[in-house]
């Protein structure tokens, strides 16, 4: 079965480069106004043209607000689902299903999912304010999972391109370094305009630690870890004794798999595994 989720309309984000054009046009208008130095210059010029009937202000407003409410209602669920006990939906998109889709399809799907996410967040907020339960809150997790999977697929494709063209993954690089306390830590590199040699702050930076200063700390820290490990091992041992006591026919091979640190055969020989029930029977 393939029970997928996405939604009705398929929105496409408009050309991002339009932004710059809009900006330049506005600039021109502004400059024209500044030159004439007259605020109402545009109102003087229009000639009388009988062909078009201009809508009244009231009509114009009604049309505008109808359009805007239609768009804003995308932030809410369908009317049938308001106050519903349950909204049954399918599962999230899987990676293997997204891999066979073209980039433009993925791009469209992203915005569908984004709108759905916003809708669910709005409904959740409203339900909370009204002291009510959101029907099927697992829908949020399904959308988030789909979005995560989609992003991973896009990343895979880009990685493949970069590896082919440049020999690098194209991701943000990282390395494992020692911090001041002498512990290993995960360090994500940062992007800079100037090279390290010319950067005053970074020029003399070294990832290292002084052995003399951290010696004592590291000793105690390792001891703490070791004590923790030993304690959990002892707890495991005690638990296995109880298992043998209560279930004498327990699957030993499986226990060996579950607790690889323990010597199961040796534990089985211990006196502590003897059941008081068995003693009674004897």
Q: Which of residues 110-129 bind other proteins (CB under 8 A)?
A: 110-111, 114-115, 117-118, 121-123, 125-126, 129
Of 142 and 267, CB closest to other proteins = 142
Locate tokens 């068995």: which residue?
278
Of 35 and 205, CB closest to other proteins = 205
Residues 6+ apart with CB under 8 A from 131: none
Tell me the closest approach of the beta carbon of residue 201 to other proteins, in angstroms.
Answer: 11
Interface residue with other proteins among 21, 26, 41, 61 (CB under 8 A) is 61
Q: Is 68 among the residues that bind other proteins (CB under 8 A)?
A: yes
Query: What DSSP line would sit under 82-128, residue for residue?
Result: TT-S------PPPHHHHHTS-HHHHHHHHHHHHHHHHHHHHHHHHHH
Q: Is 181 among the residues that bind other proteins (CB under 8 A)?
A: no
Q: Is 158 among the residues that bind other proteins (CB under 8 A)?
A: yes
Residue 186's H or E segment, with its range, is: strand 184-188
Tokens found for residue 40: 């109402």
Count of positions (residues) in the chain: 282
Instruction: Give CA–CA dist 68/59, Å, rounded.
Output: 14
Instruction: Give CA–CA dist 211/215, Å, rounded.
Output: 6
Tell me the closest approach of the beta carbon of residue 137 to other proteins, in angstroms.
Answer: 7
Q: How many CB atoms lie within 10 A of CB 150?
A: 19
Tell me the closest approach of the beta carbon of residue 71 to other proteins, in angstroms.
Answer: 5
Q: Is 147 among the residues that bind other proteins (CB under 8 A)?
A: yes
Q: Is 178 among the residues that bind other proteins (CB under 8 A)?
A: no
Tell me the closest approach of the beta carbon of residue 214 to other proteins, in angstroms.
Answer: 19
Q: Is 53 among the residues that bind other proteins (CB under 8 A)?
A: no
Q: Are 117 and 140 in contact (CB under 8 A)?
A: yes
Please give the span between the terminal C-alpha atoms of the chain, in angstroms, as a whole number: 57
- Give the count of residues interacting with other proteins (CB under 8 A): 107
Q: Is 201 among the residues that bind other proteins (CB under 8 A)?
A: no
Tell me the closest approach of the beta carbon of residue 179 to other proteins, in angstroms.
Answer: 12
Q: Is 281 among the residues that bind other proteins (CB under 8 A)?
A: no
Q: Is 73 among the residues that bind other proteins (CB under 8 A)?
A: yes
């Amino acid at each position: 079965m393939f029970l997928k989720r996405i939604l009705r309309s398929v929105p496409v984000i408009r050309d991002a480069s339009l932004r710059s054009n809009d900006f330049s046009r506005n600039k021109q208008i502004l400059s024209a106004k500044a030159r004439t130095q007259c605020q109402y210059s545009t109102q003087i010029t229009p000639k009388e043209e009988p062909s078009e009937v201009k809508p009244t202000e009231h009509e114009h407003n009604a049309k505008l607000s109808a359009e805007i409410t239609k768009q804003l209602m995308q932030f809410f669920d369908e009317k049938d689902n308001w106050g519903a006990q349950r909204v049954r939906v399918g599962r999230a998109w899987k990676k293997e299903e997204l891999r066979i889709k073209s980039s433009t399809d993925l791009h469209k799907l992203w915005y569908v999912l984004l709108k759905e996410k916003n809708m669910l967040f709005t409904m959740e907020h409203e339900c909370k304010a009204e002291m009510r339960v959101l029907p099927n809150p697992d829908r949020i997790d399904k959308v988030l999972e789909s979005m995560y999977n989609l992003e991973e697929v896009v990343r895979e494709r880009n990685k493949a391109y970069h590896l082919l063209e440049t020999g690098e993954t194209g991701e943000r690089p990282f390395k494992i370094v020692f911090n001041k306390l002498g512990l290993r830590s995960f360090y994500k590199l940062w992007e800079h305009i100037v090279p390290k040699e010319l950067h005053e702050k970074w020029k003399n930076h070294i990832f290292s630690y002084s052995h003399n200063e951290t010696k004592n700390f590291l000793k105690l820290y390792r001891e703490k870890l070791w004590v923790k490990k030993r304690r959990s091992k002892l707890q495991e041992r005690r638990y296995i004794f109880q298992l043998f006591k209560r279930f004498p026919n327990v699957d030993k091979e499986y226990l060996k798999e579950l607790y690889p640190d323990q010597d199961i055969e040796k534990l089985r020989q211990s006196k502590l595994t003897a059941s008081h029930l068995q003693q009674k029977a004897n």
